[in-house]
Structure 1
Amino acid sequence: MHKQGLKLAYSFAVLNAVIIGFSFLFTKVALVHAGPLDTLTFRFAASFAVMSVPVALGWVKVSYRGKPIGRALLLAAMYPLGFFTLQVFGLQRATSAEGGILYSFTPVVTMIIAAIFLKEKTTLLQKLCIFLSVFGVVFIFVMKGSGIQLSNMTGIVLLFMTCLAFAGYSVLARSLSSHFSPAELSYLMMGVGFATFLIISLTGHTVSGTLGEFLNPLGSATFVLSAVYLGVVASLVTTLTSTYILSKIEASLMSVFTNLSTIVSIAAGAVFLGEQITVYHWIGSFLIIAGVIGTNLLGRKKTAAASAAASE
């Protein structure tokens, strides 16, 4: 059963990378029709509404009584609140390429935070594999001619803080997985995300006198489709699967999968936007995949060795 759970966790980790890879494309489409905060509001409205149906019908049981709700709210403050707010304002002040480069450092930041707070240990070879996957992403962006412009310093700092927010979320979600079910954590996070972004968005419209325009994006079928993808698939599905993954494998092992989303976004750009794929894309993708496989294979060997030593 444990092996089956582990297989499912790895399948979910790959699925999440694919979903996140496509989410960049849908975010670009959504932002044509609405501002960043309105997009986030409709995104989380979709995810919270969809999850409220099975909860209201009693198909999914959620109970928060006697559980560490304060720590769960801190989790929601890191992700989705902190992560998406920092990302939106970071991308307004820096390029999406800089966002991609900085996001690739998430596994390194997660590894450090998980070592401090969860006492997760990674071997030297695992550390090298994590850095290999990060190097693969950076290599693709640098070869594309994208670097980090120090003139965009505010945006760069905000985007780096998204790494910290996601790493903090991964570590805290792993420690909370023994208290809450994936559905309970996900429902709380979607609800907090929707309520907070709705209040901020409506306040912004009221101040600028554009409250009548708040629902305008819903007149576009393209925007609605993008919001549903971002809310239901890219937020709700990935949150449910992430909390499941973190109950089965270490935070540092899960986070390295985030770099696979770079490969997916390259493929999505080629198929849907006609972007060109070059030799350096293939080389970078190979390095990313090698790093992800290496980190996790070595992680399983380490776990197997530890269990063998414990049983002797």
Structure 2
Amino acid sequence: MKQQPGVKTAYMLAVLNAAIIGFSFLFTKMALEFSGPLDTLAFRFAGSFIVMSVPVACGWVKLSYRGKPLYKVLLLAAMYPLGFFTLQVFGLQHATSAEGGILYSFTPVVTLIIASLFLKEATSFLQKLSIFLSVFGVVFIFIMKGSSIDLSNMAGILMLFLTCVAFAGYTVLARSLAKQFTPSEISYLMMAVGFIVFFGISLISHTADRTLGDLFTPLKSATFTLAILYLGVISSLLTTWTSNYILSKIEASRMSVFTNLSTLVSIAAGALFLGEEVTLYHWIGSALIIAGVLGANMFGRGQTGKAMEITEPAQRGSVHNG
């Protein structure tokens, strides 16, 4: 069966996204040494929005929102970045990062369920099995490290689980919006909403506490500025644009399973830059994750072509409208 143009590129970008997200944990730790979670998010999306505004203002990136359902993109932005990062920040105040990692690994499963309900995406038994295998690989690594879920942290656990729902909802809705918007149009609105809301809340908070002068103090640090540039430009802007492109080419359930590859990258980053030990269970868990990702995208190819037929007219429409 003939593949839609750009599918191979979409898979390569999905792997790149996982690598970028894997390193983002390292840069987030760096940024949080100089600034609080809310201020870090404010600068992160300020950087994203400002950088993308340059090619838009220069006319290098063409945007056209006339006659398009903007409320759907605003709903998308409410899920990600607003819902996802807000729930993550407050969830991690009541739960551990290990619990966050375990729960985040279930994102592909939640995406599979939502995509089947709202997009009518069909997956074979082997695809479902592969998705669960990749989730088990992540959970296996965390359990072997001695991590577990403490049910006494129920408020934090619930919020961290809702980050899965928020990201899965974004993945599914972005897939459907590919019929009406280009990846750049979706990404720019998402970054704008993230910037306005997070920076607005940060300004109001500092003004109320009479600490407005402290807001920009972290920017004096080259380390913080570097971390923000990575988080804002690469980890937010670039991955958002590529995710929207990927979702215009492949199913939401296939893309979501790539998120678990970020665990492999975070392990490698910890070993290379923080001197963390890589043990046998890391290798076993990594093999399970990779096998799950490959299986989810190799099995059931007969259904892929059918799903792609839906998006081809959408892409032509997006170019025409732009």
Could you tell me how far apart the structure 2 residues matched to 1:169 and 1:305 are? 22
Give the corresponding residue for 1:168. Answer: 169
What does the per-residue CA deviation read over 1:210-264, in whole Å, with 9 as the maximum and x for residues that have no partner? 1111101101100000000000000000000000000000000000000000000
Could you tell me how far apart the structure 2 residues matched to 1:27 and 1:219 are? 17
Could you tell me how far apart the structure 1 residues matched to 2:238 and 2:31 are? 19
Give the corresponding residue for 2:128. Answer: 127
Q: Is 2:211 aligned against 1:210? A: yes
SS in structure 2 of the partner of residue 33 of structure 1: coil
Give the corresponding residue for 1:187. Answer: 188
Tell me if structure 1 keeps the 8 A contact 2:251–2:307: no
| Aligned-partner residue type, residue 131 of structure 1 | F
Give the corresponding residue for 1:72. Answer: 73
Give the corresponding residue for 1:28. Answer: 29
Tell me if structure 2 keeps the 8 A contact 1:173–1:243: yes
Q: Give the aligned CA root-mean-square deviation in angstroms.
A: 1.4
Could you tell me how far apart the structure 2 residues matched to 1:113 and 1:47 are? 28
Tell me if structure 1 keeps the 8 A contact 2:3–2:305: no
Give the corresponding residue for 1:154. Answer: 155
Could you tell me how far apart the structure 2 residues matched to 1:241 and 1:233 are? 11
Gapped regions of structure 1 (runs ≥ 5): 308-312
Give the drift of 1:2: 4.4
Tell me if structure 2 keeps the 8 A contact 1:143–1:280: yes
Could you tell me how far apart the structure 2 residues matched to 1:203 and 1:210 are? 10
Give the corresponding residue for 2:280. Answer: 279
Could you tell me how far apart the structure 2 residues matched to 1:93 and 1:63 are? 42
Give the corresponding residue for 1:293. Answer: 294
Tell me if structure 2 keeps the 8 A contact 1:79–1:169: yes
Residues matched between the structures, number: 307
Give the corresponding residue for 2:50. Answer: 49
Could you tell me how far apart the structure 1 residues matched to 2:303 and 2:42 are? 43
Give the drift of 1:155: 1.0
| Aligned-partner residue type, residue 110 of structure 1 | T
Could you tell me how far apart the structure 2 residues matched to 1:147 and 1:284 are? 16
Tell me if structure 2 keeps the 8 A contact 1:42–1:231: yes
| Aligned-partner residue type, residue 82 of structure 1 | G
Give the drift of 1:51: 0.3
Give the drift of 1:305: 8.9
Give the drift of 1:302: 3.8
Distance change (3 Å), C-alpha of 1:299 and 1:33? farther
Tell me if structure 2 keeps the 8 A contact 1:253–1:299: no
Could you tell me how far apart the structure 2 residues matched to 1:48 and 1:306 are? 32
| Aligned-partner residue type, residue 224 of structure 1 | T
- Bigger Cα displacement from structure 2, 91-100 vs 140-149: 91-100
| Aligned-partner residue type, residue 73 of structure 1 | L
Give the drift of 1:280: 0.2
Give the corresponding residue for 2:104. Answer: 103
Tell me if structure 2 keeps the 8 A contact 1:43–1:230: yes
Give the corresponding residue for 2:115. Answer: 114
- Bigger Cα displacement from structure 2, 190-199 vs 292-301: 292-301
Could you tell me how far apart the structure 2 residues matched to 1:91 and 1:139 are? 21
Give the corresponding residue for 2:233. Answer: 232
SS in structure 2 of the partner of residue 247 of structure 1: coil
SS in structure 1 of the partner of residue 292 of structure 2: helix
Give the corresponding residue for 2:178. Answer: 177
The alignment's TM-score, normalised by the length of structure 2, stands at: 0.93
The alignment's TM-score, normalised by the length of structure 1, stands at: 0.96
Instruction: Indicate the percent of aligned positions where both proteins have the same amino acid.
Output: 72
Gapped regions of structure 2 (runs ≥ 5): 309-322
Give the corresponding residue for 2:223. Answer: 222
Segments of 4+ in structure 1 off by > 4 A?
1-4, 304-307
